Amino acid sequence: MSSFNTDIAIIGGGGAGLRAAIAAAEENPELSVLLISKVYPVRSHTVSAEGGIAGVMSEDDSHEKHCFDTIRGSDYLADQDAVEFFVNEAPKEIIQLEHWGCPWSREENGDVAVRAFGGMSTKRTVYAADKTGFYMLHSLFERSLKYPNIKRLDEYFVTKLVTDFDSTGGETNNEKRAEAMPSEKHTEAENISAKTPRVIGCIAMNLQTGELVSISAKTTILATGGAGKVYSFTTNALIKTGDGMALAYKAGAELKDMEFVQFHPTGLPRTGILITEGARGEGGYLLNNLGERFMERYLPNKMELGPRDIISRSIMSEIKAGRGFSGPYGEYVHLDIRHLGEEKINEKLPLVREMSLDFAGVDPINEPIPVMPVVHYSMGGVATNVNAKSSLKGLFAAGETACVSINGANRLGSNSLAECLVFGARAGLECAKECKSSKLIHVSARELADEENRIAELLQRTGSKTVATVKTKLQEIMQKHAGIERDHEGLVIGLNQILSLKRELKNIELGDKAKLFNTELTGYLELENMFVIAEAILRSALDRKESRGSHTRSDFTERNDEEFLHHTHVLQDQKATMSLSRKPVTITKWKPQPRVY
Ligand SMILES: Cc1cc2nc3c(=O)[nH]c(=O)nc-3n(C[C@H](O)[C@H](O)[C@H](O)COP(=O)(O)OP(=O)(O)OC[C@H]3O[C@@H](n4cnc5c(N)ncnc54)[C@H](O)[C@@H]3O)c2cc1C
């Protein structure tokens, strides 16, 4: 079949995508929902989430506290209306998920158990041992099977979003956008002009056959996850190449706050495999080569339970001061959980033990675990409002690919899984509503043919470069120049190197010409997307001449609310180059103040 029609197309089968599908299907059983995923849904990155999901569940917690922790954690860059909505909905989603079969860990008295997490003022993180994402994703997937109106295209890779500008032919997209947005680069997501393009569907490749199909949809939801793979050292799965953000950008949508990339303090050297914050939540210590709990020096009131940006920077300071350990894969510190004892480790942190044994060769019952900061999460993404709407008509986004923004300059651990559920559900409901009044516009046969020709040309192209070499180079540049600490000079070098490397795309020859599961071809398409993400991170980071949350500038070491209390938006302008604009942060009742713990 080469074309599909649906009311709602959802791109991504992780936590956010599945939650959106269920919400839409439940809202209106008459609606057709098509879930498209480049991997089988239960292999989405959500499956690897470990430590837990945040929501106000215990008596000594409150919505006020969760809002404040999230906003302070974000270094006051979160949009506070979104945070309030999120905090209010998160507990309902957690309970809902239990009713759908998710086996949350329990306290002795039978209550749902909560553990401490970084930057939270109280125990707020609900978990299922240290395999939370695995249980959540399977519960969502199984639930989604209940609805006959959810159909799936598993192992279909979306190569392009199609807008009504594309399908009407004639002038180029950018000319039309120029006309549509004369000085409207600053369009508010809510305030979509009548001439803004409408996303009418997408083109996807069936990975089992190599065939391209067109998907016409009244509304489209991006739930494609993050972009950690633009760095060489990351906890992120291979599939996290920022496809959805890049697809949205190329279709004319705005991306937001791309400079904010989270480094998680505790990754295993070499592989970057994550050791969950739950290990510190359960009482683990961070130690330097003198055996000191060095967080005493940086955050004595919070110690190992500070937010991720501060702990990652503290580890780097220890290493710089010569108090780290060196190994074949770089310098690291120790995470010590020996004092928790074998029973607790096996009960609450079985995966931490298993992975330390398999990937670092240490048994944390007897030895400390070597850890170093590692790229983990994209705070930025497709700019959306609190209803998950992007700046384009017909296009919504939720989960890690979106920037709503509840995370601002630094996400608190365990807020992300809750964000996937809350805004996934929101996106599904909003699309269901919008479908009542919107008409299906068909993706034209010409649009499909153009994309088929583009892919055919890629397969025929000759050149001296490979996907692997260019991708590795891109990742190295980002790791070196857009890491935990940045400065003007490094960012400029990084940007110039990325732009010149991008020209090598044309020089890549694909060795594999096969139709069936051509991972070299999809690797190429992902690499194109990664260049969009890399450029957006670097340009946004250059523009933000202050230090806030995860964005640390060694040449501008202080937060500067006077000039930089704003979101950074990037948009493709009429010359197909990336243009930046600044938009206000929504402040409701938490006035920005120094971020003290
Ligand atoms: C190791 C690890 C542990 C974590 N632990 C926690 C935790 O304990 N608590 C917490 O709150 N957060 C945690 N996080 C973060 C959290 O898991 C993620 O932010 C969240 O799961 C993202 O979910 P998602 O639905 O947005 O995307 P994903 O789960 O990444 O799913 C993306 C989906 O999009 C599809 N897709 C992407 N591109 C395309 C394309 N071109 N065409 C078709 N389909 C496409 C993929 O196939 C996939 O189905 C962790 C992250 C990692 C990496």
Cα radius of gyration (the chain)? 23
pLDDT higher than 80, residue 194: no
- Does ligand 1 lie within 6 Å of residue 37's CB atom? yes
CB 449 within 8 Å of CB 209? no
State in Å: Cα 101 to ligand 1 middle: 20
pLDDT higher than 90, residue 173: no
Q: What share of the chain is helix, strand, coil (3-state, %, to 5)?
A: 40, 20, 40
State how far the alpha carbon of 444 is from the alpha carbons of 106, 150, 183, 450, 585, in Å: 53, 24, 30, 10, 39
Using CA atoms, how far apart are residues 586 and 592, in angstroms rounded to an integer? Answer: 11
Sign of the C-alpha dihedral computed for residues 425, 429, 435 and 438 taken in this order: negative
pLDDT higher than 70, residue 206: yes
Using CA atoms, how far apart are residues 393 and 476, in angstroms rounded to an integer? Answer: 36
Only one residue has tokens 């096969």, namely 514
pLDDT tens digit string along 48-62? Answer: 999 999 999 999 999
pLDDT higher than 50, residue 278: yes
pLDDT higher than 70, residue 238: yes
* pLDDT at residue 184, as a whole number: 38
Measured CA angle at 483 (ends 359, 465), to 5 deg: 80
Q: Which amino acid, 136?
A: M
Gap between the terminal Cα atoms of the chain: 57
Categorize the per-residue pLDDT at 174 as very low, low, confident or very high, splitting at 50, 70 and 90.
low
| Burial group, residue 107, by CB count within 10 angstroms (0-12, 13-18, 19+) | exposed
Instruction: Report, as an integer, the average pLDDT of 494-511.
Output: 98
Please report which residue ranges of 100-197 form alpha helices under DSSP H: 132-144, 164-167, 173-180
Closest by CA to 187, choosing from 402, 434, 390, is 390
* pLDDT at residue 105, as a whole number: 97
Residue 236's SS3 state is: coil
- The DSSP letter of residue 410 is S
Using CA atoms, how far apart are residues 459 and 482, in angstroms rounded to an integer? Answer: 32
- Does ligand 1 lie within 6 Å of residue 36's CB atom? yes
- Does ligand 1 lie within 6 Å of residue 324's CB atom? no
- Does ligand 1 lie within 6 Å of residue 196's CB atom? no
Better-scored residue on pLDDT, 101 or 576: 101
Instruction: Report, as an integer, the average pLDDT of 267-284.
Output: 96
Torsions phi, psi of 212, nearest 5?
-95, 145
State in Å: Cα 460 to ligand 1 middle: 33
* pLDDT at residue 183, as a whole number: 40
Closest by CA to 356, choosing from 289, 284, 307, is 284
The H or E element containing residue 370 is: strand 369-378
- Which domains are delineated in the chain? 267-374 (3.90.700.10), 462-560 (1.20.58.100)
State in Å: Cα 17 to ligand 1 middle: 10
- Does ligand 1 lie within 6 Å of residue 416's CB atom? yes
CB 206 within 8 Å of CB 158? no
Categorize the per-residue pLDDT at 187 as very low, low, confident or very high, splitting at 50, 70 and 90.
very low
pLDDT tens digit string along 443-482? Answer: 999 999 999 999 999 999 999 999 999 999 999 999 999 9
- Does ligand 1 lie within 6 Å of residue 234's CB atom? no
Using CA atoms, how far apart are residues 201 and 442, in angstroms rounded to an integer? Answer: 8
* Both tokens assigned to 287: 């130690």
Using CA atoms, how far apart are residues 442 and 258, in angstroms rounded to an integer? Answer: 32
- Does ligand 1 lie within 6 Å of residue 97's CB atom? no
State in Å: Cα 416 to ligand 1 middle: 9
* pLDDT at residue 585, as a whole number: 98
* Both tokens assigned to 40: 């089988």
State in Å: Cα 191 to ligand 1 middle: 29
Q: Which atom of ligand 1 is nearest to the CA of 43?
A: 49
416, 451, 528: residue to mutate for ligand 1 pocket, most atoms within 8 A of CB: 416
State in Å: Cα 51 to ligand 1 middle: 14
11, 19, 46, 396: residue to mutate for ligand 1 pocket, most atoms within 8 A of CB: 46
Better-scored residue on pLDDT, 173 or 259: 259
417, 423, 521: residue to mutate for ligand 1 pocket, most atoms within 8 A of CB: 417
CB 227 within 8 Å of CB 242? yes
Q: Which atom of ligand 1 is nearest to the CA of 156?
A: 43
Q: What is the dihedral of CA 573, 575, 578, 579, to 10 degrees?
A: -50
* Both tokens assigned to 370: 């070597």
| Burial group, residue 183, by CB count within 10 angstroms (0-12, 13-18, 19+) | exposed
Torsion region of 270: left, alpha or beta (phi above 0 gives left; psi -120 to 50 gives alpha): left
Closest by CA to 239, choosing from 469, 47, 82, is 47
- Does ligand 1 lie within 6 Å of residue 229's CB atom? no
pLDDT tens digit string along 361-389? Answer: 999 999 999 999 999 999 999 999 999 99
pLDDT higher than 80, residue 188: no
Categorize the per-residue pLDDT at 179 as very low, low, confident or very high, splitting at 50, 70 and 90.
low
Categorize the per-residue pLDDT at 156 as very low, low, confident or very high, splitting at 50, 70 and 90.
very high
Provide the whole-model pTM: 0.96
Number of alpha carbons in the 13 Å side-chain half-sphere of residue 144: 29
* pLDDT at residue 186, as a whole number: 39
- Does ligand 1 lie within 6 Å of residue 49's CB atom? yes
| Average confidence score pLDDT of the chain | 95
pLDDT tens digit string along 69-122? Answer: 999 999 999 999 999 999 999 999 999 999 999 999 999 999 999 999 999 999
Q: Which atom of ligand 1 is nearest to the CA of 416?
A: 11
Using CA atoms, how far apart are residues 588 and 78, in angstroms rounded to an integer? Answer: 11
Q: Which atom of ligand 1 is nearest to the CA of 419?
A: 11
CB 28 within 8 Å of CB 35? no
State in Å: Cα 420 to ligand 1 middle: 9
Torsions phi, psi of 410, nearest 5?
-165, 120
| Sheet-wide strand order for 125-126 | 53-54, 125-126, 114-115
Measured CA angle at 201 (ends 195, 207), to 5 deg: 150
- Does ligand 1 lie within 6 Å of residue 523's CB atom? no
State in Å: Cα 293 to ligand 1 middle: 32
Using CA atoms, how far apart are residues 160 and 244, in angstroms rounded to an integer? Answer: 9
Residues tagged active-site: 264, 280
Burial per residue of 366-399, b for 16 or more beta-carbon CB atoms within 10 angstroms, e otherwise = eebbbbbbbbbbbbbbbbbbbbbbbbbbbbbbbb
Instruction: Report, as an integer, the average pLDDT of 262-289.
Output: 97
pLDDT tens digit string along 477-500? Answer: 999 999 999 999 999 999 999 999
* Both tokens assigned to 328: 């074949």
- Of all protein residues, whose CA lies closest to atom 14 belonging to ligand 1? 49
- Does ligand 1 lie within 6 Å of residue 279's CB atom? no
- Does ligand 1 lie within 6 Å of residue 266's CB atom? no
Measured CA angle at 182 (ends 180, 186), to 5 deg: 95
Q: Which atom of ligand 1 is nearest to the CA of 204?
A: 42
- Does ligand 1 lie within 6 Å of residue 574's CB atom? no
Categorize the per-residue pLDDT at 166 as very low, low, confident or very high, splitting at 50, 70 and 90.
confident
* pLDDT at residue 165, as a whole number: 85
Using CA atoms, how far apart are residues 479 and 358, in angstroms rounded to an integer? Answer: 25
Number of alpha carbons in the 13 Å side-chain half-sphere of residue 157: 26
pLDDT tens digit string along 405-445? Answer: 999 999 999 999 999 999 999 999 999 999 999 999 999 99
Using CA atoms, how far apart are residues 429 and 93, in angstroms rounded to an integer? Answer: 14
Using CA atoms, how far apart are residues 459 and 114, in angstroms rounded to an integer? Answer: 51
CB atoms within 10 A of CB 85: 18
Measured CA angle at 248 (ends 240, 434), to 5 deg: 115
Using CA atoms, how far apart are residues 283 and 274, in angstroms rounded to an integer? Answer: 17
Only one residue has tokens 């002009």, namely 193
Using CA atoms, how far apart are residues 388 and 435, in angstroms rounded to an integer? Answer: 15
pLDDT tens digit string along 546-566? Answer: 999 999 999 999 999 999 999
pLDDT higher than 70, residue 168: no
